[in-house]
Amino acid sequence: MKKVIIIGAGPAGLSAGIFLARDKIPTLIIEKFSPGGNMLLTEEIENYPGFPNGISGYKLSENMKEQFLKFGGEIKLGEVERIDLNGNKKIIKLKNGEFLESEFLVIASGSTRKKLQVKGEDDFIGKGVSYCAICDGAFFKEKEVAVIGGGDSALEEAIYLTKFVKTLYLVHRREKLRAKKYLQEEAKNNKKINFILPYIVKEIKGKEKVESIILENTLKEEIIELKVDGIFISAGQKPNSEFLNGIVKTDKNGFIIVNEKMETNIPGIFACGDVIKKSLYQIITAASEGMIAGFFIEKYIENL
Ligand SMILES: Cc1cc2nc3c(=O)[nH]c(=O)nc-3n(C[C@H](O)[C@H](O)[C@H](O)COP(=O)(O)OP(=O)(O)OC[C@H]3O[C@@H](n4cnc5c(N)ncnc54)[C@H](O)[C@@H]3O)c2cc1C
Split at pLDDT 50, 70, 90, the class of 41 is: confident
Q: What integer is the mean pLDDT of 35-44?
A: 90
What is the CA(37)–ligand 1 centre distance, in A?
Answer: 4
Write the pLDDT tens digit of every residue in 250-259: 999 999 999 9
CATH topology match: 2-112+237-303 vs 129-233: yes
Q: What is the pLDDT of residue 157?
A: 94
Share of the chain above pLDDT 90, in %: 93
Q: What integer is the mean pLDDT of 55-64?
A: 96
Q: What integer is the mean pLDDT of 168-180?
A: 95
Split at pLDDT 50, 70, 90, the class of 285 is: very high
**Full-model pTM:** 0.88
Q: What is the pLDDT of residue 6?
A: 98
Write the pLDDT tens digit of every residue in 60-81: 999 999 999 999 999 999 999 9
The answer, yes or no, to whether any atom of ligand 1 lies below 6 A from the CB of 12, is yes
Cα separation, 69 vs 211, whole angstroms:
42
CA gyration radius, the chain: 21
Q: What integer is the mean pLDDT of 233-258?
A: 94
What is the CA(122)–ligand 1 centre distance, in A?
Answer: 17
The answer, yes or no, to whether any atom of ligand 1 lies below 6 A from the CB of 281, is yes
What is the CA(43)–ligand 1 centre distance, in A?
Answer: 13
Q: What are phi and psi of 72, to 5 degrees?
A: 100, 10
The answer, yes or no, to whether any atom of ligand 1 lies below 6 A from the CB of 11, is yes
Q: Choose which residue among 6, 140, 283, 284 to substitute to test ligand 1 binding: the one with the highest number of ligand atoms within 8 A of its C-beta.
A: 283
- Residue 295 C-beta-side C-alpha neighbours within 13 Å: 11
**Beta-carbon contacts of residue 54 (< 8 Å; ≥ 6 apart):** 44, 45, 46
Q: What integer is the mean pLDDT of 218-227?
A: 97
The answer, yes or no, to whether any atom of ligand 1 lies below 6 A from the CB of 61, is no
Which residues are catalytic, by number? Answer: 132, 135-136
Give the atom of ligand 1 at the shortest distance from the alpha carbon of 281.
19
The answer, yes or no, to whether any atom of ligand 1 lies below 6 A from the CB of 109, is yes
- Beta-ladder partners of 90: 85, 102
Query: Considering all CA atoms of the chain, what is the largest pairwise distance in Å, rounded to the nearest integer?
Result: 68
* Domain range annotation of the chain: 2-112+237-303, 129-233
| CA-proximal residue: ligand 1, atom 35 (nearest) | 8
State yes or no: pLDDT of 44 exceeds 90. no
State yes or no: pLDDT of 236 exceeds 90. no
Looking at domain 129-233, its CATH architecture is 3-Layer(bba) Sandwich (3.50)
Q: What integer is the mean pLDDT of 20-34?
A: 97
Average pLDDT, the chain: 96
Share of the chain above pLDDT 70, in %: 100
Split at pLDDT 50, 70, 90, the class of 150 is: very high
What is the CA(190)–ligand 1 centre distance, in A?
Answer: 32
The answer, yes or no, to whether any atom of ligand 1 lies below 6 A from the CB of 271, is no
Q: What is the pLDDT of residue 1?
A: 85
Tell me yes or no: is domain 2-112+237-303 CATH 3.50.50.60: yes
Q: What are phi and psi of 144, to 5 degrees?
A: -105, 125
Write the pLDDT tens digit of every residue in 108-138: 999 998 999 999 999 999 899 999 998 899 9
CA 92, 96, 99 angle in degrees (round to 5)? Answer: 30
Write the pLDDT tens digit of every residue in 178-202: 999 999 999 999 999 999 999 999 9
